[in-house]
Structure 1
């Protein structure tokens, strides 16, 4: 039987091929909001991933941005973001990914983040070494904010936007460079391999960061999640290389 990490990688890479096929083409918009877009392709990608994962593990549960599937009483739950960076994808910006994690008895035990445009795949199993295209990676060694590149997310609500913009301004006075990149999962993958030094956002969903959290922590970084009260599966996140004094800009 194919092991769980290989299965998740297969699902992510297969979905990536679907996204590449449609990138830059005319797309069906299911819902257009002020600060977000939902595509028919989001659902198609999740259905493809669901078919692969639950086809091989029919007793498992699946929890994704586009809904749930499988046996919701199972202690094994796949957490899926079928396109993290949908707005980038829609506008023809090649910075998006597929994120898949497996949670067993409330503990995330593996993660895969796949960037189909660059051809990069990050993988991690709990207790193991994070890999980028099969090669070990680790967080950066930078310790000073003045040498760091920080990614600040702004979310979608007015509150989250205001918080993100305030943090961006405050951090920009200290950091070497600031980024707003549009994909939480890729931001965390970039911290994992030392390209970025921190990612901060006041409102994010579990499917955006489940795989990335395990990757960053296994690579030597630190991730703090705080549940937002009164909001279903909504979190604030601070992810760093574990060395820079991020609290100085929060």
Structure 2
């Protein structure tokens, strides 16, 4: 029987299987994650096993991530080459955990580990399902303004809040942090999507300063609130010199 014929049940199983999940993991953009897949006690030689890690693809057949066949690991599949690893020593103990590094937003999705006994009639030994989410938190926002030193009473000042790295368009909220109240201001919002799929966001507001003010900027998404350090605005109040002779 040819290899293609022997592997046909694997791909047929892939097409008709229903995804179910036993593990949910969250990784950080650019970081690494370990997705467990165990079959213990392992009573077979590795040469007798077929082990596949696949990623679900709703638009076509599942994507191959890494495989063990005839005791040899193949890890050169598109999008995963150089980023995936299974420890040969741990595999001898029935541990086929997938190590995935340099996480990108495209790595989010549903993964499946399939362990089979490679006999004339292929025997399913275990199936492990993992749902992976790659998180991309925004950086701590930074508030800047072009004016140095004290401001004059009634002076207008333009503040800019900048943050980067998130994957969802955020709300940007300006606070009077001295009182804990939201500033009611018109803001100009700008966002730029990078090739990584993450966003750079900027909010600009103009305030008329009539009293000392501590301002913070909050980047808000459904997953997080990230707050800047306080921007302290000091006002130089000039007192009018009255001419009492003129007041008589």
**TM-score tier after normalising by the smaller chain length:** under 0.3
Between structure 1 and structure 2, the one with the greater Rg is: 2
Q: TM-score if structure 1 supplies the norm length? A: 0.22
Structure with greater strand share of residues: 2
Q: TM-score if structure 2 supplies the norm length? A: 0.22
Structure with greater helix share of residues: 1
